[in-house]
Homo-oligomer: A and B are copies of this chain.
């Protein structure tokens, strides 16, 4: 009998996009060689013809998201300003745009932070940011510090201590509140703060931390600080103090 339904041939791209889909839907911990293979209706070992090992698959995943950041930021930047020299606005736009990509792939920050190697597209991305800084009058030295200070914000995420979404697992929202309530008398300021902030955001206890606003607040803190450094003098350093 003729084999009418020959499967599409595997390829590195098909493997990576299957892995990315799994990570988006079921979390990063669901990305196993067997699972990726199963989704492609193939045996696990077949993947190794297109990916050296699992590490390389994870690297590929990171490259995918960084690539996504790169293109989306590029598009947004091209649309926004016809090459205006405003580094502050440009960087702000870039970080916020990158953040929309990271929100789509909530597992990415954790993965990026734990990877031992720097994926190639990231160099390109930082080159762009660096170009913006230099174009804005930064010395290479200050720009270097700026890159470090912005850190993960350049890629659109902040180090959230104990971020549930990172690992893709389930989270017990109530447990945290319960534990805080249990220690309430030892945590007077914390409980007051939570109560005060909850009051502002009447109800919606899950959303009383507005990640977006906090991200922008910190981002502006950093950008404004850098701007002040830029005015103060290009060579000014604060190793002293």
Contact = CB atoms under 8 A, between A and B. Distances in A.
A117 B189 contact: no
A130 interface: yes
A122 B162 CA distance: 11
Contact of A124 (B160, B187, B197): B187
Nearest to A92: B241
13 contacts: A112-B161, A113-B113, A117-B162, A117-B172, A122-B162, A140-B192, A140-B196, A140-B197, A145-B217, A149-B221, A216-B238, A220-B241, A224-B225
A83 interface: no
A123 B179 contact: yes
A226 interface: yes
A48 interface: no
B217 A149 contact: yes
Nearest to A139: B196
Contacts of A126: 190
A163 interface: yes
Nearest to A152: B159
A40 interface: no
A7 to B, nearest CB: 35
Contacts of A57: none
Nearest to A197: B144
Contacts of A167: 114, 116
A200 B140 CA distance: 11
A200 B229 CA distance: 20
A114 B117 contact: no
Given A112-B162, A130-B189, A149-B214, 12 more contacts: A117-B172, A118-B161, A120-B183, A122-B161, A123-B187, A123-B190, A126-B190, A127-B188, A140-B192, A145-B217, A213-B239, A224-B228
Interface string A131-165: 10010000011011100110110010011111110
The 9 closest A-B pairs by CB, nearest first: A159-B159, A221-B225, A149-B218, A152-B159, A148-B214, A130-B189, A140-B196, A140-B193, A127-B187
B130 A193 contact: yes
Contact of A238 (B152, B220, B225, B241): B220
